[in-house]
A and B are shown apart, each in its own frame.
Chain A
């Protein structure tokens, strides 16, 4: 169990400090592992190397920021990327779309829900909870 605590501590460090210039050598050292042992254990638990995990965390956080309509450059810098070019390339590699295409898609989805709130809700829930009637009344 102690071994897991050390790896989890390192993982949580990445979760909390993803925006900083993280040196994975230091994380391994802090967790009292050699770099090789640390990478091997981390990958066996989380299915990714610490470096790839850090990248995935950064891209997930960037998606959250882009959903909130932050400018792409701001999102890029806020999650720890130095260069917008590498941010765009990594974002596309992981998500399959560019940051701007992702953000536009989110805007369209938001607009659609704003215009037709019930488009996001299965009808059974909407009718059971009385939302269909309320929204129809508020529109009339």
Chain B
């Protein structure tokens, strides 16, 4: 039986900018930042309370995985906001929303009441969008 998710991948358009966004704005921790030769870089971050889930910030660049055409297509799709990459949670959405906005994070949707709690949508520096939820109502 499968027991855990240990790694997941978010495709980004610039790893320096992604580092700034995920570490300095979202407050994630850097797990590994290692050069892989010829400009390639293995960059993974973890949410503050989930140190064993590595989120790989993988650069869309030509190489064994992507040819020129794929890089062009993926870049256009990411920029366009095609990909919803993940759902994050926080303890207090209204406070987190205010904090991230103050740090310059763009929201596609402000916090709204949903049947399970509250939800907002934000966009990373590449164009990937994320749901940010609060599962329980604030007392």
* A interface residues with partner B (beta carbon < 8 Å): 1, 4-5, 7-9, 11-12, 44-47, 113, 117, 120-122, 125, 128-131, 133-135, 138
Q: List 15 A-B contacts (CB under 8 A).
A: A1-B98, A4-B92, A7-B95, A8-B99, A45-B91, A46-B95, A47-B91, A117-B36, A117-B42, A121-B34, A121-B42, A129-B65, A130-B64, A131-B37, A134-B40
Q: A8-B102, A120-B34, A121-B42 are in contact. List 4 more A-B contacts (CB 8 A).
A: A12-B99, A45-B95, A130-B65, A131-B37
> Which residues of the partner chain B approach A45 to less than 8 Å between Cβ atoms?
91-92, 95
The binding surface of chain A is classed by DSSP as helix
Is B34's CB under 8 angstroms from A117's CB?
yes
* B interface residues with partner A (beta carbon < 8 Å): 6-7, 9, 32, 34-38, 40, 42, 56, 63-65, 91-92, 94-95, 97-99, 102-103
A-B contact count (CB 8 A): 65
CA gap between A135 and B36 in the complex, in Å:
8
9 nearest A-B residue pairs (beta carbon): A130-B64, A8-B98, A4-B95, A8-B99, A45-B95, A120-B32, A45-B92, A113-B34, A4-B94
> Which residues of the partner chain B approach A8 to less than 8 Å between Cβ atoms?
95, 98-99, 102
The binding surface of chain B is classed by DSSP as mixed
A12 and B102 contact, Cβ closer than 8 Å, known pairs A122-B7, A128-B64: yes
